[in-house]
A and B are shown apart, each in its own frame.
Chain A
Amino acid sequence: MSTVFIAFQANEDTRPIIEAIMADNPHAEVEDQPAMVKVSAPDKLTINKATVEEVIGREFDLQEMHINLITLSGHVDEDDEYFTLSWNS
């Protein structure tokens, strides 16, 4: 089993994204590092636009997360509604 991960700068903008990831991916693990948050999960990790919007209470464009994105690992599959990392695709 291989692991995918995504790392964000730790700030006010990314906290709701992390919260949404954890709500949608119960198998994911959060690792707090200095000024950075890394979320890793076995095989697959999905960020859903709708969940982030629910947390922040406004419309959210998934592209907004790139402002705070540090790095990621895994194959990216994305459209307007979701952003998925996996090794299987």
Chain B
Amino acid sequence: MQIDLKTVNIEPKRKAFDHLVSRFGDKAASRYQEGSYDIQATENLHYRPTWAPEQELYDPNISRIVMADWHAFKDPRQYYYNTYVLARARQQEAAEAAFTLVETRALHQTIEAELGQTILDLLVPLRHAAWSANQNNVLISGYGFGTPFTQPCLYQGMDCLAVAQYLSRIGMLLGGTEALSVGKQQWMDGEAWQPLRRLAEDTLVVRDPFELFVAQNIVIDGLLYPAVFDTVIDGRFALNGAAPISMLAQFITDWSAEARKWADSVVRVAASESAANAAVIAEWFSEWSGRAMAALLPPIERAIGSDADAVLGQTLDDLKARLAKAGVTL
């Protein structure tokens, strides 16, 4: 007797959920799509929030940005819980390794005392700015509409806490716990920090989630991280003997480069939806970028001197180029 073994390919009756099939075609959906699209609650929101009866619980009309479909966004990194956590865990391991290397070899002690103090003065108060960025992104996540838009904002908020923690650790490594209280005091009372503190506090009361997105993730982060970390820390201080700080700040630089791609994609989608959207974004940009430039100048000037103006100007030009590429005419 002869037995033939053969495989039978059974076509699944459905390749994906119906709502994903209607969006992306009849093919297997990725986990990111399953975890992001059409899971925003849109119906049967019986009661308006007691604290804001003029709006629905999840209300697309809170923002001046008008989208026919708030699910038109896509996070280019395709973060959903699993991929986000895995990616950050890998980065955390790398950052821990860098801290261990610097601590065990005492590399931070190779930095000259004066430069070390300048770095402390520049970086430690920024952890308070990172906290307001956290608050802002969580607000966008809570009041924004459409999971592909709001989900990455929650991750961004977590990342801002990570930034604050790494800054604290750098501070403690260079100056002990005292560095943190001095940093807070500078943030609260230091003259150079008051414009930035005021800017951060003013963003905390912005209620339009998309305006807050532009103010925080495009303007403030788009100026602060390239200017302070890419240009000052990595570009200048590293050459003057503070390379260990670049190692310790590697998560911050990597993360901000990655987040920029996502932020650009959000603006690109919203601006390409309508000319009105693009105009609103441009209006928000000019309003917030003027303030952010003025607020960032004093602390950077204190760190690198009169050159700060040129550094910030260059950073602003780069940011404008990013927006132009995303379809916003300024």
Contact = CB atoms under 8 A, between A and B. Distances in A.
Q: A and B bound?
A: yes
Interface of A: 12, 15-16, 32-34, 56-58
B35 to A, nearest CB: 12
B264 interface: no
Interface string B147-167: 000000000000000000000
A34 B75 contact: no
B7 A34 contact: yes
A15 B75 contact: no
A15 to B, nearest CB: 7
A57 B9 contact: no
B250 to A, nearest CB: 15
B75 A12 contact: no
Interface residues of B, number: 12
Nearest to B32: A57
Q: Majority SS of interface residues in chain B?
A: loop
A33 B11 CA distance: 10
B329 interface: no
Given A16-B30, A57-B78, 5 more contacts: A12-B31, A34-B8, A34-B10, A57-B76, A58-B87
A58 B9 CA distance: 33
Q: Majority SS of interface residues in chain A?
A: mixed
A15 B31 CA distance: 11
Given A57-B77, A57-B78, A58-B87, A12 B9 contact: no
Nearest to A31: B9
Interface in B68-83: 75-78
A34 B30 CA distance: 18
A56 B75 CA distance: 10
B115 interface: no
A33 B30 contact: no
For the complex of A and B, the 6 pairs showing the least CB-CB separation, nearest first, are A57-B76, A57-B77, A57-B78, A34-B7, A34-B9, A33-B9
